[in-house]
Amino acid sequence: MDFSLTAEQRELKAAAIAFARGELEDDLAKREDVGELSLPAWRACAQFGIQGLPVPVELGGGGADILTTVLVMEALGYGCHDNGLIFSLNAQMWSLELPLVKFGTPAQQQAYLPGLLSGDLIGVHAMTEPDSGSDAFGLRTRVERRGDDYVLNGTKLYITNAPVADVVLVFAAHPGRPRLAAISAFLVDKTAPGFSVSRSLDKMGLRTSPMGEIALDDCVVPATSRLGTEGAGMAIFNSSMVWERSCILASALGTMQRQLEACVSHGRTRKQFGQAIGKFQGVASKVADMYLRLEAARLLVYQAAWLGQQGSPAVAEAAAAKLFTSEAWVASSLDAIQVHGAYGYMRESGIERDLRDAVASTIYSGTSEIQRVILSGMLGL
């Protein structure tokens, strides 16, 4: 594996950093207070080409390979402090756009991809329910075929982008069918009869990424809205999860790089007991640990992306990248606060925000515990 960057990749990464610094930072503290996604920033990302990065050129996207996409998302994490915005971008790209690319009909692709890539539409998928999180087969949302339509009934909870979404990929079960063929996926517009966002949710972190609960009350969708064949829901979900786990924390690499640089700078300039605090072993050791976590996480994320480019499923590698990077981000955020002392604990520093945002990464896209189950199972246990 050779992770040396091409000249084009270096230029694109530098351009993404400059773009993030220049256009994605407005009113972050104020928007975080009220839990608001910046729609101007969303549209700016679309204009830059973020949403279209992994989508083939023939479908209107940028046609970037997965490793290049990872590099750009890493650059966003480095140049932009709005982890919530980046999380919402990831949610749309990996859980809706790529399933449309892989499983969508030409009509479905034409109906949704142009708007999703231009920033005119916002979307996501909806799998999690009040009684079904890690146990994806335990979902209770039901679907019934009625002539040329399907009727959905159920509740989806903790759905990223739900309060602002124009289209949601909803997973629902056919009662009485065998477990592996019981779930199908449906593209549901926010205007569909019986579809509603019943409430918005107030979170500890990632506050600029809106989250909500979706109610499906005799929600009617045409048969043409089914993504893939009947019973293919878990194949669609698992396909998107491999890429999501491989790539969703690429931005955390950039954030951890930014944290490390801030701690080195602070360690050089902040003085106590007549010398720079970086000269004290306790501070220096934390900075060294932050570096080790960053570089190990980077290699795991790059490896999963590289394997994907080679056509490998990379299930174990994706789980390892998700597990290690999420826990490394939490640990390094704690170290960054400790290095900065009381100032790091203050909201005005912006340092504590990264910790609140990082905690969620050990939960979404499969908890750390689930990643360990996946890895142990693939090791033969």
Which residues are identified as catalytic? 244
Among residues 90, 10, 3, which one has the least CA distance to residue 54?
90
Give whole-number Cα distances, 90 to 19, 21, 56, 156, 312, in Å: 17, 19, 17, 19, 21
Give whole-number Cα distances, 331 to 85, 130, 288, 298, 338, in Å: 22, 29, 12, 15, 11
Helix axis angle, 233-247 to 281-309, nearest 10°: 140
Q: How many residues are recorded in the chain?
A: 381
Q: What is the CA radius of gyration of the chain?
A: 21
* DSSP alpha helix (H) spans, the chain: 7-23, 28-34, 39-48, 66-79, 83-92, 98-103, 106-118, 233-247, 250-269, 281-309, 315-340, 342-345, 351-361, 368-378
* C-alpha dihedral (236, 59, 97, 72), degrees to nearest 10: 120
One-letter amino acid identity for 156? K
Residues whose CB is less than 8 angstroms from the CB of residue 59 and which lie 6 or more positions away in sequence, other chains included: 101, 109, 113
State how far the Cα of 318 lies from the Cα of 221, in Å rounded to an integer.
34
One-letter amino acid identity for 51? Q
User: What is the maximum alpha-carbon separation in the chain?
Assistant: 80
Q: Are 57 and 63 in contact (CB under 8 A)?
A: yes
Helix axis angle, 66-79 to 83-92, nearest 10°: 160
One-letter amino acid identity for 165? A
State how far the Cα of 54 lies from the Cα of 341, in Å rounded to an integer.
40
Residue with token string 């340092």: 351
